[in-house]
Amino acid sequence: MIGSMKQLNVSDLNVKDVKDHLPSDAEQEAIALKDYTAAGIKLHAAGAIYFRSGEDADIRSKFEYCKRAGISVIVAGDPTPETLPRIEKFVKEYDIRIAIHNHGPEDKLWPSPLDVLKSIKNTDSRIGCCIDVGHAARAGTDVVQAIHEVGPRLFDVHMKDLTDFKNKESQVTVGDGIMPVREIFKALIATEYKGFVDLEYEIFPDNPLPGVMSSFAYMRGVIAGMGYPSHN
């Protein structure tokens, strides 16, 4: 993966707590962190990480994991509204932000970033959203409008493209579908978004690099066409 990132000229990564990204075992994690540092790769987020038990010990372990790695944003997959007060306690203690990830119409808790926004509006400002544009669109949400509504509570963006907003399996290389990519970047710029746009390419697992490269080329072209530097 490090080799692929060098080919892509990408130096920032949202890792997952799995073997080939950033293992959750402390010893293996330290080895991976050493490799990333040597390669000049910075870890800006971890997730989606799941808070299945809602118990303090489990929550603390996730924050400790990210603290060791120097990660400032946890992309949270499934915290319940009832668990948020407990998570908020750790957000304050560790000064690590939580970005709740929406997972589309199949998600009974957070189908849309707007559902997340409703539940977090009275919480610490370090609890926010990770907008997955594909899942948001499938939930019937206007992604561009959602970016404006979430505003300063937007901590991360997961980018993908689809040919059909009603079909989860219609993912394609970014630029080959109907996702309003240019309008998404315009909205991020208009809202002075300070975070990252993470490509989430979930097709052709045996040979993802060609599609990943095309996706980055398209997004960089969009950004360059708007008059902004697009080297990374």
Per-domain residue ranges of the chain: 2-225
Structural contact between residues 133 and 158, judged by C-beta atoms closer than 8 angstroms: yes
Q: Which residue type does 223 have?
A: I
Residue matched to tokens 């997730």 = 47
| Distance, CA of 16 to CA of 180 (rounded, Å) | 27
Can you tell me the mean pLDDT for 31-45?
97
On the question of a cis peptide bond just before residue 137, with omega within 30 degrees of 0, the verdict is no
Residue 26 banded pLDDT, cuts 50, 70, 90: confident
Other C-beta atoms closer than 10 Å to the C-beta of 78 total: 18
Is residue 22 within 8 Å of 59, Cβ to Cβ? no
Q: Average pLDDT for residues 166-176, to the nearest whole number?
A: 97
For a pLDDT cut of 70, what percent of the chain falls above it? 99
pLDDT in tens, 188-225: 999 999 999 999 999 999 999 999 999 999 999 999 99
pLDDT at residue 232 above 60? no
Q: Are 132 and 51 in contact (CB under 8 A)?
A: no
Per-residue pLDDT tens over the stretch 90-124: 999 999 999 999 999 999 999 999 999 999 999 99
* Superfamily in which the 2-225 domain is placed by CATH: Divalent-metal-dependent TIM barrel enzymes (3.20.20.150)
Question: What sign results for the dihedral spanned by CA atoms 169, 173, 174, 180?
Answer: negative
* Number of neighbours of residue 108 by Cβ within 10 angstroms: 9
Does the structure show a pLDDT above 80 at 173?
Answer: yes
Tokens of 28: 């293996």
User: What percent of the chain stands above pLDDT 90?
Assistant: 91
Q: d(Cα 179, Cα 189) in Å, to the nearest integer? A: 17
Report which of 41, 44, 108 is spatially closest to residue 75, judged by C-alpha positions.
44
pLDDT attached to residue 111: 96
This prediction's pTM = 0.94
